[in-house]
Amino acid sequence: MLAIISLASISVLPLVSGHAAFWHPSMWGFNVTQQTFSYDNRPVAPIKNMNFTEWWFHNHLAHPPNPGNIFELPAGQPATAQIACNKGATDFFASSEGGDIRDKNNLDNVCPGATSQEYHTNGLDDLEGCAMAIAYKNDVNQVQPEDFTVFSVNQTCVWTRFTDFQVPARMPPCPEGGCVCAFFWIHSPLSGGEENYMNGFKCNVTGSTSTFPVAQSKLPRRCGADPTNGKMQAAPANCTYGAKTPFYWFNLERNNMFEGTYSPPVYNDIYNFIDGPQDDIFVDSYLSIPDPAPNASMPILADVSSTKNPVPATNNSSSSSTGSGSGSSSALAKTCGSATALQPNSSSGGLGKREVKDVSSGSGSWGGLILRMSKRSRKLDMHKRHRLWHMW
Ligand SMILES: *[C@@H]1O[C@H](CO)[C@@H](O)[C@H](O)[C@H]1NC(C)=O
Ligand SMILES: *[C@@H]1O[C@H](CO)[C@@H](O)[C@H](O)[C@H]1NC(C)=O
Ligand SMILES: *[C@@H]1O[C@H](CO)[C@@H](O)[C@H](O)[C@H]1NC(C)=O
Ligand SMILES: *[C@@H]1O[C@H](CO)[C@@H](O)[C@H](O)[C@H]1NC(C)=O
Ligand SMILES: *[C@@H]1O[C@H](CO)[C@@H](O)[C@H](O)[C@H]1NC(C)=O
Ligand SMILES: *[C@@H]1O[C@H](CO)[C@@H](O)[C@H](O)[C@H]1NC(C)=O
Ligand SMILES: *[C@@H]1O[C@H](CO)[C@@H](O)[C@H](O)[C@H]1NC(C)=O
Ligand SMILES: *[C@@H]1O[C@H](CO)[C@@H](O)[C@H](O)[C@H]1NC(C)=O
Ligand SMILES: *[C@@H]1O[C@H](CO)[C@@H](O)[C@H](O)[C@H]1NC(C)=O
């Protein structure tokens, strides 16, 4: 229906040629237009087959935000992003070359006058998720790809202009001047070619209640069920747990993912990116994280609710699993007395991206559909450690 209504108006809209970007005055490249570079380097332009200078921060480092423009990340609350195929479709239309093109009948429309294929999805069941990552550095020139940690994922992205990213409650404060963040997205292979999306922005964590730092991020691993590619069962012990790096894929330099065209790395359960806040990214989040492998033992979550003082980060699984806590961490050790390493339960049902059928015949609003979908996804409950992988 949306498609039919849209066709009539598609020709009158300026530059609405699809794709999507995060839009906010705190971003690098906020005012970059089709003419700014010798090639189309608008924030919505997809990134692929580029050298590092060309893809890193979308080659927008020379187009910084104005001083004082910062995207706030309220600890424990949602941060609402605006994602659209054109700045004119956001609240920041005033500085858009084509003016206000927001859809008055649906302010959540990502790309007014276009079908969802224009932002690379065939529909709700084809969404692969997008992510926000943070680097605890105040100088963007010091930020390296490995400095980013994904702190929030929205698996039903890109679908609505206003997209909530839940900020983990335990995010520590940023250094003076704030942090550097970026929006990342890799879309479904069914709706367009291999592409990365990256938009960097200045960000700041507000309302921090914890000072435990974010752990050094590690490469995500493709551990979830992936029926499309013939993998019916998830391999939970094969996942990366804790802080994970964003995907850098299909460029000429500094890739960290080497998946093929039909199995793009995606921000959802396939790579253990839980929908919502990534609550386990801190140095004290786990008592142990064994090296992942399909037959490895499972990590042991710490009970962070009882910790007041920093616990030294450890990667020594033998010391943690025997509960060698001392001082401030003894409470942890006690509460995990019965926590023998979890074994992967292959009968618990492989869980890849959400499997939602019949969305077109579903009743209710987009929001309702999204709510239902999210409930299919795994959530991490830091107080129920046996649910590290199992879904509810
Ligand atoms: C990256 O590619 C651009 C465009 O081809 C080229 O001008 C630039 O010199 C390259 N930079 C590096 C560091 O290779
Ligand atoms: C973007 O353009 C608007 C309108 O010209 C201007 O007010 C604003 O300062 C610009 N922002 C940046 C970051 O260049
Ligand atoms: C994803 O964004 C949608 C739209 O803002 C929101 O309804 C949903 O709750 C978000 N999902 C999560 C897990 O935050
Ligand atoms: C970041 O937030 C903290 C806590 O609210 C505040 O003290 C600090 O001034 C903010 N920094 C910037 C650059 O806005
Ligand atoms: C384990 O993860 C690796 C790295 O992502 C992946 O190549 C491999 O297919 C995964 N194996 C299983 C059984 O999940
Ligand atoms: C896991 O599998 C590898 C390769 O098959 C094997 O070498 C290793 O001993 C196994 N480890 C455990 C703990 O079973
Ligand atoms: C983890 O173990 C390796 C090898 O034993 C060591 O080099 C590294 O410093 C350890 N990291 C932490 C955080 O303890
Ligand atoms: C890991 O912890 C155990 C038990 O405390 C200790 O015996 C062992 O030496 C530690 N290994 C490393 C590499 O630190
Ligand atoms: C594995 O999961 C299934 C389904 O949730 C459950 O019925 C079964 O008891 C579990 N088995 C083990 C060993 O945890």
β-strand 71-74 against 197-206: which pairing, if any?
Answer: parallel
pLDDT of residue 253: 98
pLDDT of residue 383: 62
* Contacts of range 304-311, beta carbons closer than 8 Å, 24 or more positions apart: 304/170, 304/382, 305/382, 305/383, 306/331, 306/332, 306/335, 307/331, 307/332, 310/211, 310/212, 310/283, 310/284, 311/283, 311/284
**Residue list, ligand 1 pocket, CB within 6 Å:** 51, 53-54
Regarding the beta carbon of 314 and ligand 7, being less than 6 Å apart is answered yes
pLDDT of residue 389: 58
Regarding the beta carbon of 295 and ligand 6, being less than 6 Å apart is answered yes
Q: Using alpha carbons, list the distances in angstroms from residue 33 to 29, 30, 75.
A: 9, 9, 33
Regarding the beta carbon of 347 and ligand 9, being less than 6 Å apart is answered yes
Give 295 Cα–ligand 6 centroid separation in angstroms.
6
Question: Per DSSP, what are the bridge partners of residue 288?
Answer: 300
Give 43 Cα–ligand 2 centroid separation in angstroms.
15
Regarding the beta carbon of 315 and ligand 8, being less than 6 Å apart is answered no
Give 49 Cα–ligand 1 centroid separation in angstroms.
11
- Alpha-carbon distance of 88 to 94, in angstroms, equals 7
Cα separation of the two ends of the chain: 34
pLDDT of residue 193: 85
Regarding the beta carbon of 223 and ligand 5, being less than 6 Å apart is answered yes
pLDDT of residue 50: 98
Give 316 Cα–ligand 8 centroid separation in angstroms.
6
CATH number of 17-281: 2.70.50
Give 319 Cα–ligand 8 centroid separation in angstroms.
6
CB 149, CB 60: distance < 8 Å: no
- The number of the ligand nearest the C-alpha atom of 386 reads 9
- The number of the ligand nearest the C-alpha atom of 165 reads 3
**Measured from the CA of 317, which atom of ligand 8 is nearest?**
1
Looking up tokens 């590690």 gives 218
pLDDT of residue 388: 65
- Alpha-carbon distance of 191 to 118, in angstroms, equals 9
pLDDT of residue 380: 67
β-strand 162-166 against 149-154: which pairing, if any?
Answer: unpaired
Give 40 Cα–ligand 3 centroid separation in angstroms.
30
pLDDT of residue 381: 66
Listed by start position, the domains of the chain span 17-281, 284-392
pLDDT of residue 306: 53
Q: Note the pLDDT tens digit of each residue in 266-324.
A: 999 999 999 999 999 999 999 999 999 999 999 999 988 654 444 444 434 433 333 33
Regarding the beta carbon of 313 and ligand 7, being less than 6 Å apart is answered yes
Q: Note the pLDDT tens digit of each residue in 122-138.
A: 888 888 999 999 999 99
Query: Which residue numbers in the chain have pLDDT < 50?
Result: 1-16, 307-376, 391-392
- The number of the ligand nearest the C-alpha atom of 96 reads 2
CB 73, CB 79: distance < 8 Å: yes
Regarding the beta carbon of 239 and ligand 5, being less than 6 Å apart is answered no
Give 254 Cα–ligand 1 centroid separation in angstroms.
14
Q: Using alpha carbons, list the distances in angstroms from residue 47 to 6, 159, 180, 247.
A: 27, 20, 20, 12
Q: Note the pLDDT tens digit of each residue in 233-275.
A: 999 999 999 999 999 999 999 999 999 999 999 999 999 999 9
The H-assigned helical ranges of the chain are 2-9, 52-55, 317-321, 330-335, 366-374
